[in-house]
């Protein structure tokens, strides 16, 4: 039985890019849903100003989250352009630290903001927040590298 071929740096980076694109699509959909809810609350004019402000702020934070997720692409792009083992290893370490320190912390901040905000309409809060939290937890799971994924990255760096 032939040994399984180790993925190249290029393969690992393309796989990360595809996953990142899916995450950005998910965040984009969350932004659209959040903005639609904001417009609905604003059009209602029933005095739920706290709800409108909270949802608008969550929308802005979701957009910022997308920019932070996209930032990892530029770190990976440096590794791809230079194509040396040392640069790839350093860029991989920087990308992991960037995601854990910046992106995941910001994601936690969005969840915390939604929970700590005062809402005028409990029904809006009860319908919107659980959906938002579950979607953000899915994004967190995708951003947190699994041990097997880290092994693939290390193996690719060792080959090049």
Chain segment 5-46, per-residue pLDDT in tens: 887 777 888 888 899 999 999 999 999 999 999 999 888 877
Asked, for residue 111, whether it belongs to a domain, the answer is yes
Chain segment 99-128, per-residue pLDDT in tens: 989 999 999 999 999 999 989 888 889 999
Asked, for residue 3, whether it belongs to a domain, the answer is no
Asked, for residue 2, whether it belongs to a domain, the answer is no
Asked, for residue 56, whether it belongs to a domain, the answer is yes
Within the chain, residue ranges assigned H as helices are 9-44, 49-82, 85-98, 104-116, 122-143, 147-159
Asked, for residue 79, whether it belongs to a domain, the answer is yes
* Per-residue pLDDT, 148: 47
Asked, for residue 63, whether it belongs to a domain, the answer is yes
How many domains would you assign to the chain?
Answer: 1
Across the range 57-66, mean pLDDT stands at: 96
Q: Please name the residue that has the structure tokens 């690719």.
A: 156
Asked, for residue 36, whether it belongs to a domain, the answer is yes
Asked, for residue 4, whether it belongs to a domain, the answer is no
Go through 40-70 and write b for each residue having 16 or more CB atoms within 10 A of its CB, e for each that does not.
Answer: ebeeeeeebeebbbbbbbbbebbbebbebbe
Return the structure tokens found at 141.
Answer: 């799971």
């Amino acid at each position: 039985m032939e040994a399984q071929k180790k993925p190249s740096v290029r393969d690992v980076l393309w796989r990360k890019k595809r996953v990142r694109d899916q995450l950005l699509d998910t965040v984009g959909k969350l932004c659209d849903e959040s903005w639609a809810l904001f417009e609905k609350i604003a059009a209602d004019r029933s005095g739920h100003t706290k709800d409108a402000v909270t949802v608008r702020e969550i929308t802005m934070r979701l957009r910022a989250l997308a920019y932070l997720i996209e930032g990892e692409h530029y770190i990976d792009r440096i590794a791809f352009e230079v194509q040396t083992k040392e640069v790839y290893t350093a860029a991989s370490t920087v990308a992991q630290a960037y995601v854990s320190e910046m992106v995941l912390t910001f994601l936690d901040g969005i969840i915390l903001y939604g929970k700590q905000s005062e809402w005028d309409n409990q029904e809006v809060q009860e319908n919107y927040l659980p959906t938002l939290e579950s979607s953000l937890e899915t994004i967190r799971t995708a951003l947190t590298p699994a041990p097997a994924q880290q092994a693939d990255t290390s193996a690719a760096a060792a080959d090049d």
